[in-house]
Structure 1
Amino acid sequence: MAEAAATGAAAVTAAAQAGTIALRLEALARAPDGRWSITFLDSHGAVAEHCTAAALAARVAAVAGVLERESAPGAPVLLVFQPCVDFLVAFLACQWSGRLAVPINPPRRHRLIARLQAVAADSGAKVALTGGGVAEQVAHWRADSTVLGALRWHDLGGLDLDPARAAPLRAVDPQATCFIQYTSGSTALPKGVEVSHANLMADMARMEAAWGLSPASTMVSWLPAFHDLGLIFGLLQTLFSGCPVVQMAPNSFLQRPVLWLDAITRFRGTHTAAPSFAYDLCNRRIAPEQREGLDLSSLVMAMNAAEPIDPQVMETFTDTFGPYGFRRETFAPAYGLAESTLAVTASPVGMAPRLFTLDPGALEAGRIALAPPSTTPSAPRRSVIAGCGAPLADVPVAIVDPQTLRRLPPDGVGEVWVGGPTIARGYWRRVEESAATFGVRIAGEDDPNGYLRTGDLGAMIDGELCITGRIKDLIILSGANHYPQDIERVAQAAHPALRIGSGAAFSVADDHGGVQVVLVQELERTQRRADPDPLFSAISAAVWENLELQLARIVLVEPGAVLRTSSGKIQRSANGRAWRDGALPVIAEWRSARERGRAGAVPSASQPVPGGDAAALGSWLREWLAQRLELPVSEVAAQRGLSELGLTSIDAVELAAALGAHCGRELPQTFAFDYPTIGAIVAHLCGPPAEPAAVARKVAGPRQGGDLEELLSMIEGGARGRD
């Protein structure tokens, strides 16, 4: 305990001395022996750009000069960048000049601008900085959106950054807001978390102490820089600790996962982070011949966070890459959220992840009971859950009954409440929501600072936080947030036979520990005997094309069957239980082809075929999809929607890459969403060029954003290590 207290005190002292991240950059730029640098890799893993601290500081000061002339101190500035070094320049220019950075990823498809508009409007930004090839899209955004058209846009790549007009470093109050982190997910009601300079420095000081970061470390990251795990841990932490960082675009990793591990090998990376699905992708997608030459022995820690932590994925990754230097104790499960800046708990370096075997019956009853080893087939069912580490120094964690607001006994499962100096200031311009989430008091206890309500359910087991679920309805799939009301709204707009405001989307666990999405939807009374197949096709296609989300099941029910509260609100958890128990009056139910688990897939063609041959290209596509989705080729018909087959967002990116390589042409990663059937793909590639809108289904209602970076963005704040 004395050692932990000393570590906590050292962390607090380091944070106080650091001041702000802009001051830290200035110090690194002046240091003659500074080791810090940023290296950005292209999609092939080659060095695209390298920048030292001194060069970075000069660019930052020059852009800060532009902000001084274009905006007032304390004003929000929208940052809309493709992955590149200029994003870091823009973010730090806001810190340098005392402006509030508002990072957000650009929509990958022109029509998916709803979230960008919502964040621009909610933040109140008047100025936007762009880079990485975004500027060419700005004219279209401005023409289509009054909100985006009113912004003053500046492309860093086209600015004349005169050193003579560079801005001096502005002194700021450490308690003031330094950036606004918008939580990912709902496009309709974005919430911006106000992170202060003091919050940021305190959290990074604690992460440095917990994970052994120093100038001798090397960070390797492919995480999206617009969101907090990639931004704070992947980029800003390296400035705080003075260590170099090697960065690549998320798409580069998704298309070729081996690039991540190859970068760790080449640059002798010591620290990295990713959600569980990324480690699983490496397990499945890096072939034995690609592993040759990898050396992961330099890694000190590999954070596993941002989505439910799958113990089997960690086990498989350790077994697969153990021969190449990866050690079990390198895994560092963690938990955090944007409202607490980033990290809340951390598994220390050098300690293997802790796994707890629980009695699921007790867990369902809201208690933690460790299960005895199973020795007979009749032994009680058990659940294995991964710990997310111990709370960081001076970060109290309480397990509270969400109804009575009282602290639960040590074996209780309840809502996770978090306190300490890393808790953010609140939600930007949302007083009521801030009061309901921040600074909440535990009933019967006298705490002047209060706690943050996380909305996550969990328990403390032997000093380790374990997350068991969520109170809120948020659906977490492959590291991305999906708000059920978005899914319901898009689905109901797909066909007039569906009752508006009468659906419930929820997630369920599959047999492999993954997450699937189910939609229960009422029909209009006059449509109860309608052919359900067109409805299923319309719903699955609409959700796929608008949200880039694949539904596993669609359940059509009688009017009035969807469960609600007395005030008329949809009870999504209750509907999920009723569906599982067979208690709903089901009219018809649909399962995706992938979810049905058909076997007998045919291997993909071994010999390339000419891209202009429609029949050959269609055959290649059917075989590729059959192999990827583990379906017989007979299931993969040209007219069937890719969403009906069960193609996920990650599959869609891989399809675009494989198809582009097969045809010898560059295809956008959104290709499968713009041409959502085999027939549409073949017609586009083998026939006269067509606009994507001409082949994509039209869906009434607002278009919602489900970008690839949203897929990768860390849930509600980046480091949520949910088990």
Structure 2
Amino acid sequence: MGQDERLLAIVRELAGELKPGAPELASYGLHHHLERDFGLDSLSRVELFARVERELGVQLGEDAFAAETPAELLALAGAALAEREQGAAAPEDAPSLGGAFAAAPPSLATLTVVLDWHVRHQGGRVHIHLLDEAGRDDAVSYARLSAAARAVAAGLLAQGAAPGSRVALMLPTGLDFFAVFYGALYAGCVPVPLYPPARPAQLEEHLRRVAAILANSGARWLVTDPRARVFASALSARCPALDGILTVGELNAYGAAPSLPRRQGSDLAFLQYTSGSTGEPKGVMLSHANLLANLRAMQEAARATPDDVFVSWLPLYHDMGLIGAGLGSMVIGFTLVLMSPLAFLARPVRWLQAISRYRGTLSAAPNFAYEICAGKLANEALSGLDLSSWRMACNGAEAVSPQTLERFAARLAPYGLRREALSPVYGLAEASVGLAFPPSGRGPRIDHVARRALADDGVAEPAPAAGAGVQAVPGCGHALPGHALRIVDAAGLALPERRVGRVQFCGPSACAGYFDNPAATAKLFDGAWLNTGDLGYLADGELFITGREKDIIIRGGHNIHPQELEEAVGRIAGVRAGNVVVFAATDEGAGTERLVVLAEVRVRDEAARGAIRRQVEALAVDLTGLPADDVVLAPPGTVLKTSSGKLRRAACRAAYEQGTLLRRARSARRQAATVAGAAALVRVRAALRRALGTLWPCWAWAVFVLCVPLVWCLIALGPTLRLRRYAARTGARLALAAAGLPAHVEGLEWLPANGPVVVVANHASYVDGLLLCAVLPARFGYVAKRELLNGALSALPLRRLGAAFVERFDAARGAQDSAALEARLAAGDALVFFPEGTFGEAPGLLPFHMGAFLAAARTGSPVLPVTLGGTRALLPGERRWPRFARLSVTIHPPLFPSGTDWRSALALRDAARAVMLARVGEPDASAR
């Protein structure tokens, strides 16, 4: 018996004494929790340590009390044994006993720190088994991955990569993808995964979408396969920030980097672009802290340990494949068996064969993959499979079909699959990936509800499963630990259980918003809650999804959710399952929406097509209570889908209304010619924009260079404070007007003519002070950081304008400065604060310091919130080269303190923050 088995036996024996007859103890392993799973409290651990020391012959130290799992205790025991036998060996370098896998501690704050930890402790352990189409296994250890990633990081740094630079990668599944992803992180950059084109017929649309993502993300480099450079070069015309197109081989030519930048958990880790079908791309901003919080929450919900084996064919540009499988294997420490999505699509049985061969315990896929395996695989292909190790089969990323769950379970039960392993889950990129999981080993929960009550009244009324007019809705589980779900109506009010409404969530893995897209970010947030875009209800705290908010069809006063009809039509003989779309088309004459069913079929015989059409029409009446207005039977390849296989209902609707739905796709050569012509036109337009983009900043700088010295002298020589402030205000107004930057101002009526007042404004740019100076009356003074007194050019005008200075780093001096501010307010002064204290390039309202609000509360002064717009776009971050933007200033009604204590100041802060968040169009960065 190895040391790991001996220690686990000790733990199980003690736990069995505390919980006699508990059957689950036998299934708990090295990575289950000592307290939560085995039930060992602090006093029980004293006894446990005594038994471990006696049985294993080691002396445990005080750090043993911090061990949360038998595996961590085993590592400590191994370190103690090695130290006793070898003397100088450090605990972190000690070998594991019995070959036990180690889990990275939860205190690690970034993905690269987690990788480095694995390299130090178990560098030779296989992290990923990469399978090719022939099933050959390329084993990638932690050490090998780290070396490959560090080589890429050296290449990026040699190219001039700065912290925060975006690096796009368009690579197939393989070591190169992970090397570039982690290499970008090592270099302090932000990776942007893109999907490669699936087939030549998609070339034009693919380039259009990729170009939009590159432009939105501001990626400096695109790292891709050498074969893709032919068409990828056309992207540079549409993406002005793109400095070059690189290959992994080119990046590997620089050797090792002398040093790598350090990143924090709050830093942006990568941009996950949602696979939406229309409109501008939306890059979900995910920090290291978001990802680690989500993965650790899923680990707890799925009871995952490093002993698990995750088998995946999911694309690495998609959140479920990259985060759930790829990053999850790194953070949790389980082994990842990975194959290409194309390998699965070519022969779906390869997925099941890999689970059988590697004794996979975890895997995930969209519903269509389970449907393929349930109905398309021959008995000969399944021969010899053993799926008894598969304990959690996650079904997510698209609508989950109860019928598919049952067919899959029944089809594979003879091969060892347990129905209890099937686990419908729910998640979205804005929550990192996962949001709701069912209890591990429970199996699917199907809620049967009255279809008409659900569609017309929004009530999930329980109904007998075998009754007429019943709809089956699968449960997706409860919110992950540390997260919360709620259902709200159109007005944003929370709904009770079994009432259908908009699904919202909050938690530590919630993203900060969409990159460089304040309008979409504003729609995403509802205060502290984020909108999922889905409709559903809660029952016993479990989430049940009924459809997408934007996909709902309103016809004749009925609310129609398309998913159930699509699935039913897909089961008609001759119809291609998974290639059916139900959508609403505008009917301006009738003042309502037309119900359209689009289904792909292979049959050409008119009689057979007529029979299919009649069956579709009958199903529409049965399931929606209304006939379909149009049934379109189309050839294969007509239904539009996203890169991850989701139906693009809005795009299908647009093509239907424009009359282009059944238009044959042009050849790849014609598409390439169109792309080349469009690229040339884009280059011409880009050249004109660059010329204008260069001339305007030059003009703006010329204006400021001419104005600043004159205004500086007027402030320095002005005889009175009033005249000096008027000079500053007039100079700021003239400079903005001459530069073509007039501000739209609202709420001037809220400015008091006299008396003390505290103005608090959001801080997004160096232009903020100039803009406020131009808008506010001359009686307002500004509160500035004391470091500005160290600059000769800034110290004199600030002093002459009566600015107040506060110390940020010396607590005692800061308290004195706060007292001075209160004295000025008590004397009737009006002061302007930037309570965030600083600003960054990324959008988001940072946490507020309390100084302004404490001063207002203690002096009884009103607080006047002011929201500035456009300054971050004009001059973001530390940049010195402006970009034209439209500026706005919104002055909100005053807030009055309810008292003079700390609670009153907190209330002022929260009220001011709420007002500004509602207007600023940026996320709440304090929740990051």
In the superposition, the TM-score normalised over structure 1's length comes to 0.66
Aligned match for 1:66, one of 150, 155, 168: 155
**Residue 360 and residue 550 in structure 1: after superposition, are their counterparts in 2 closer, same or farther (change >3 A)?**
closer
Aligned match for 2:547, one of 457, 466, 469: 469
> Do 2:551 and 2:583's aligned partners in 1 also have CA atoms closer than 8 Å?
no
- 1:144 Cα deviation (Å)? 6.3
What per-residue deviation string (whole Å, max 9, x for no partner) do you get for residues 376-435 of structure 1? xxx44111111001111111101101x211001223111011011010011101123212
Which structure has the higher relative contact order (CA within 8 Å, separation 6+)? 1
- 1:599 Cα deviation (Å)? 8.1
Matches of 1:400 and 1:255 in 2, distance apart? 43
- 1:168 Cα deviation (Å)? 4.0
Q: How does 1:512-591 map to 2 (within 5 A)?
A: 512-513=567-568, 560-561=588-589, 575=593, 578-579=594-595
Aligned twin of 1:55? 144
SS at 2:459 equivalent? coil
Aligned twin of 1:644? 634
What per-residue deviation string (whole Å, max 9, x for no partner) do you get for residues 258-290 of structure 1? 111111111111111001100111122211011
Is 1:93 matched with 2:121?
Answer: no
> Do 1:202 and 1:422's aligned partners in 2 also have CA atoms closer than 8 Å?
yes
> Do 1:37 and 1:245's aligned partners in 2 also have CA atoms closer than 8 Å?
yes
Aligned twin of 2:472? 384
**Equivalent residue letter for 2:128:** I
- 1:676 Cα deviation (Å)? 6.5
> Do 2:104 and 2:331's aligned partners in 1 also have CA atoms closer than 8 Å?
no
Aligned match for 1:121, one of 208, 215, 222: 215
Aligned match for 1:22, one of 93, 99, 112: 112
Is 1:38 matched with 2:128?
Answer: yes
Aligned twin of 1:111? 204
Segments of structure 2 that go 5 or more residues without pairing to the other structure are 1-34, 41-65, 70-102, 554-559, 572-577, 610-631, 644-660, 680-928
Q: How does 1:319-718 map to 2 (within 5 A)?
A: 319-364=410-455, 365-374=457-466, 379-401=467-489, 403-438=490-525, 440-441=526-527, 450-473=528-551, 509-510=564-565, 512-513=567-568, 560-561=588-589, 575=593, 578-579=594-595, 593=601, 644-647=634-637, 692-693=668-669
**Residue 645 and residue 698 in structure 1: after superposition, are their counterparts in 2 closer, same or farther (change >3 A)?**
farther
- 1:253 Cα deviation (Å)? 0.3
What per-residue deviation string (whole Å, max 9, x for no partner) do you get for residues 655-699 of structure 1? xxxxxxxxxxxxxxxxxx9x969xx9xxxxxxxxxx754799999
Aligned twin of 1:152? 244
**Residue 147 and residue 359 in structure 1: after superposition, are their counterparts in 2 closer, same or farther (change >3 A)?**
same
- 1:34 Cα deviation (Å)? 5.7
Matches of 1:159 and 1:348 in 2, distance apart? 45
Matches of 1:557 and 1:408 in 2, distance apart? 31
Aligned match for 1:80, one of 167, 170, 195: 170
Aligned twin of 1:203? 294
**Residue 255 and residue 291 in structure 1: after superposition, are their counterparts in 2 closer, same or farther (change >3 A)?**
same
Matches of 1:183 and 1:474 in 2, distance apart? 20
> Do 1:115 and 1:187's aligned partners in 2 also have CA atoms closer than 8 Å?
no
Aligned twin of 1:267? 358
Matches of 1:354 and 1:702 in 2, distance apart? 51
**Equivalent residue letter for 2:228:** Q
Aligned twin of 1:190? 281
Matches of 2:187 and 2:566 in 1, distance apart? 52
SS at 2:442 equivalent? coil
**Equivalent residue letter for 1:51:** V
- 1:350 Cα deviation (Å)? 1.2
Segments of structure 1 that go 5 or more residues without pairing to the other structure are 442-449, 476-504, 517-548, 564-573, 581-588, 602-641, 654-672, 681-690, 704-723
Aligned twin of 1:248? 339
> Do 2:370 and 2:404's aligned partners in 1 also have CA atoms closer than 8 Å?
yes
Matches of 1:309 and 1:90 in 2, distance apart? 33
- 1:32 Cα deviation (Å)? 3.7
Matches of 1:647 and 1:281 in 2, distance apart? 17
* Higher helix content, 1 or 2: 2
- 1:515 Cα deviation (Å)? 7.1
Deviates more, 1:346-355 or 1:255-264: 346-355
> Do 2:601 and 2:633's aligned partners in 1 also have CA atoms closer than 8 Å?
no
Matches of 1:393 and 1:291 in 2, distance apart? 37
SS at 2:360 equivalent? coil
Aligned twin of 1:535? none
**Equivalent residue letter for 1:56:** L
**Residue 28 and residue 514 in structure 1: after superposition, are their counterparts in 2 closer, same or farther (change >3 A)?**
farther
> Do 2:114 and 2:330's aligned partners in 1 also have CA atoms closer than 8 Å?
yes
Matches of 2:473 and 2:111 in 1, distance apart? 36
**Equivalent residue letter for 2:134:** H
Aligned twin of 1:222? 313
Matches of 1:144 and 1:643 in 2, distance apart? 36
> Do 2:152 and 2:252's aligned partners in 1 also have CA atoms closer than 8 Å?
no
Aligned match for 1:181, one of 266, 272, 275: 272
**Residue 95 and residue 695 in structure 1: after superposition, are their counterparts in 2 closer, same or farther (change >3 A)?**
closer
**Residue 145 and residue 561 in structure 1: after superposition, are their counterparts in 2 closer, same or farther (change >3 A)?**
farther
**Equivalent residue letter for 2:410:** D
> Do 2:585 and 2:595's aligned partners in 1 also have CA atoms closer than 8 Å?
no
> Do 2:109 and 2:264's aligned partners in 1 also have CA atoms closer than 8 Å?
no
**Residue 598 and residue 36 in structure 1: after superposition, are their counterparts in 2 closer, same or farther (change >3 A)?**
farther
Percent identity reads 34
Question: Cα RMSD (Å) of the superposition?
Answer: 4.0
SS at 2:634 equivalent? helix
- 1:474 Cα deviation (Å)? 9.1
Aligned match for 2:402, one of 293, 311, 324: 311
**Equivalent residue letter for 1:24:** V
SS at 1:383 equivalent? strand
- 1:16 Cα deviation (Å)? 5.0
> Do 1:37 and 1:50's aligned partners in 2 also have CA atoms closer than 8 Å?
yes
- 1:138 Cα deviation (Å)? 1.3
Matches of 2:499 and 2:453 in 1, distance apart? 10
Q: How does 1:122-141 map to 2 (within 5 A)?
A: 122-130=216-224, 134-141=225-232
**Equivalent residue letter for 2:477:** G
How many residues matched?
526
**Residue 240 and residue 227 in structure 1: after superposition, are their counterparts in 2 closer, same or farther (change >3 A)?**
same
